[in-house]
Amino acid sequence: MKQTHRLRDFFLLLGITAAAVAVHGYHRGIEDMAVYLPAIKKLLTAALYPYDAAFFLLYIRFTVFHSFVASATRATHLPLDWMIFLLHLISIFLFLLGCLAVIRKCVAEEAAQWAGVALVAALLTLPVTGTALFLVDQHLAPRTLASAFLLFATVAVLNGQPRALLWVVLAGLFHPTITAYGIVHLVVLAMPPIGARPAVFLSALPMSEPANPIWREMMSHRHFQYPLRWTWYEWLGVGGPLVLLMSYARVGRRNNMPVLERLCTRFAISTSVGVLAAIITTSSFPTQTWERLEPMRILHLTYVVFVLISGALLGKYILRMQAIRWFALFLPISLGMFYAQRQEFPASRHIELPGIASRNAWIEAFDWVRENTPRNAFFALDPKYMEKSGDDYHGFRGIAERSMLADNVKDPSVVEVFPDLAYQWKLEVAGREKWSSFNLDDFERLKKKFGVGWVILERPGVAGMPCPYVNPAVMVCRIP
């Protein structure tokens, strides 16, 4: 019977995983994958990216993610795009499995357990207020795997099992920052009811030297790092879940659900302490160490637990086993999330399956570059090309497999972690100010200063430049 339940759970989670991808989509090379993907490809083919590897390869010092993906690709002989898509599915499956394991410790009713998991799946791309994070990204990300392992660690802590340390170590190997905040939650969760002092743990975090001025200038445009700059509705996204978690704790206390009460109470405490520490450190002690830790990201695991328990309580008290109620709740949510994703990536396929031709003109240009230019070709693009209409946040390096001058969308996230890159980043970005009004002389100046020989321009382009590839949106041109 136990084996039958496990098989049923496996296939139910598999189905929910597939449904989650159908709702939220999948996109290759977008957002953070603009940093991760080139690093993986550099590990697989060392000759790639001869000019700009520092803007993405430094991350492999702190995570096994890139090496893991590269090694899995070599071992299985699968094409890299297929391996990344498969690992994306596996990571979502493990994340939802972790949610199921946690909620089964909290509520006994099966309908409530699956309602919690279903709500998390329906809201995978829910933004975590003010942090520039989602519960789960629309692409393979080490944060998803680390979050899954932290959920397994949460179950182990609730069971009083030492294996929690193993799950924490595994999470840390994939994403150290998200694991650091997971540890705060787990430490508070494991503390005895009397004498808990979570602030002592936080006060032991290291300080650092003041930031260099170029790095500070770059950080001044990243408001999500500084909670005192947040808007009122972002703070509502902090306070609302905390108030509701405490309300859920009272529900657990009244209805003899001690694990639910403990989980909600402790997460409310650890999150409150973390938010307070974030406010103090980013306002009173603005150093490179504190700000690189992105302290408000302590909210990520809190949001996961909050959504999970919200769904479980809806299942327990409202949905129960009534199919029409499930339909009435989850259909509008799923359609709303699907619509939101289509607005976010209007020029791209909802699910960018490997091997399927893209309908995105920017990606078509990047693909042409990969197939028709030498590996040592060096490109310049608009510093904010990822935000251009039609690009849909796709990164050039990961898809085109060519070097480029630093951008002003994703490369700042690298500079944030590695401040020593700030000068080079500033030099390359400043060299392309007023990009939209560049003429042939400006591009020749870029070539002389940085050594770039190619550019990608929006149409109609610039007179006097040979452009061997043109599509309705962009042109790939050589600097003469």
* Claim to verify: residue 377 and residue 420 sit in the same structural domain: yes
Rounded CA separation 400/459 (Å): 19
Domain match, 243 and 324 both: yes
Longest dimension (CA), the chain: 77
Domain identity same for 228 and 367: no
Here the tokens at position 360 are 């995105």
For residue 182, is it within any domain? yes
**pLDDT at res. 207:** 44
Same domain (yes/no): 82, 136: yes
N residues, the chain: 480
Query: How many Å apart are CA 411 and CA 192, to the nearest integer?
Result: 43
Residue 109's pLDDT is: 95
Residue 355 lies in a domain: no
Residues 239 and 305 in one domain: yes
Distance of alpha carbon 167 from alpha carbon 110, whole angstroms: 26
> Residue 395 belongs to what domain range?
361-478
Domain assignment present for 258: yes
Please tell me the predicted confidence (pLDDT) of residue 476. Answer: 96
At 218 the pLDDT is 63
The residue written with tokens 């159908």 in the block is 22
The structure tokens listed for 45 are 């083919």
CA nearest to 448, candidates 475, 476, 479, 426: 479
- Same-domain check for residues 293 and 408: no
pLDDT at 2: 66
Per-residue confidence (pLDDT) for residue 1, from 0 to 100 = 52
Structure letter (DSSP) for residue 420: G
Q: What is the pLDDT of residue 118?
A: 98
Same domain, 425 and 471: yes
User: Is 214 contained in some domain?
Assistant: yes
Which residue type is seen at 452?
Answer: V
Query: Could you tell me if residue 86 is inside a domain?
Result: yes
* Domain end call among 344, 374, 394: 344
- What integer pLDDT is reported at residue 292 of this predicted model? 67
Q: What is the mean pLDDT of each run of 10 residues along the chain (480 residues)?
A: 79 97 96 94 96 86 93 97 97 98 96 97 96 94 97 97 96 95 95 55 44 63 71 92 96 95 96 89 63 83 98 95 95 97 95 92 96 96 94 96 94 84 90 91 93 94 92 95
The answer as to whether 401 is a domain residue is yes
Tally of structural domains, the chain: 2
Residue 127 lies in a domain: yes
Domain boundary (284, 310, 344) is at 344
pTM greater than 0.85: yes
29 and 155 together in one domain: yes
Structure tokens at 348: 């791209």
Q: Which of 344, 373, 388 is the last residue of a domain?
A: 344
CB 330 within 8 A of CB 118: yes
- Are the C-beta atoms of residues 304 and 123 closer than 8 Å to each other? no
Q: Find out whether 402 and 378 touch, Cβ atoms under 8 Å.
A: yes
Instruction: Label the pairing between strands 403-404 and 378-380.
Output: parallel
- How far apart are the C-alpha atoms of 351 and 28, rounded to whole Å? 9
429 in a structural domain: yes
Cis peptide before 460 (omega within 30 of 0): yes
Same domain for 371 and 452, yes or no, is yes
Q: Are residues 104 and 204 in the same domain?
A: yes
State the pLDDT at residue 204.
Answer: 39
Same domain? For 469 and 404 the reply is yes
Instruction: Let me know whether 249 and 151 are in one domain.
Output: yes
Question: Contact at 8 Å (CB) between 99 and 308?
Answer: yes
